[in-house]
Amino acid sequence: MEVTVFLAVALALCVNDVRRMRGGGARRDLAPYLALTAVAVCAGAALIARGGSVSVIGLINDAFNIGGRT
């Protein structure tokens, strides 16, 4: 349910932004905008779908072995 709401909000924001960019003369921003939005949506949906079991700090700590995971 939460992922669905997240995707719906992302889609609404994206449609609004794309319409504004196409009309406002910022067409060259479309490619980086869509790339960054795709990354944000994919990462966000994946992290939300995993619930509270994902911890970016925990992953960083594990990757660099700096401790701190609780």
Partner 1 sequence: MILNNDKISVRQIFIMFIMSTFSPAIRLFPALCASYGGIAGWLGPVVAAAGLQLLIAALSSMFGHGAGAPADLGDAFEMAFGRAGRQIALVLYLAWTLLLCSVYVRYYAERLMSTIFPNADIRFFLIPMLILVGIAARGRIEAFARFSEITILLFTAVFALLFLFFIPSVKIGNLLPLTPGDAVSAARSAIPVMSIWGYITLFFFLGGHIKNRDKIKKYARSAITYITAVTALMLIFVTGSLGYRTVTRMPAPFFSATKLIQIVRSVDRMEAILLSLWVVSDFVTILAFTFIAMNIAKKLFGAAEVRSFASPMLLLGYAGGLAVASNGLELERFSSNAAVIAVSVFAGTVLPLAAYLTGAVRGRWPLKTPPDAHPGR
Q: What single-letter amino acid sits at 8? A: A
23 binds partner 1 (CB under 8 A): no
For residues 9 and 69, give the distance between their C-alpha atoms in angstroms, rounded to a whole number: 32
- Cβ-contact 17, 56 below 8 angstroms: no
Residue 65, phi then psi, degrees to nearest 5: 55, 45
Binding to partner 1, residues 31-50 (CB under 8 A): 31-33, 35-37, 39-41, 43-45, 47-48, 50
Chain contacts with partner 1 (rule: CB under 8 A): 6, 9-10, 13-14, 17, 21, 24-26, 28-29, 31-33, 35-37, 39-41, 43-45, 47-48, 50, 52-58, 60-61, 64, 66-70
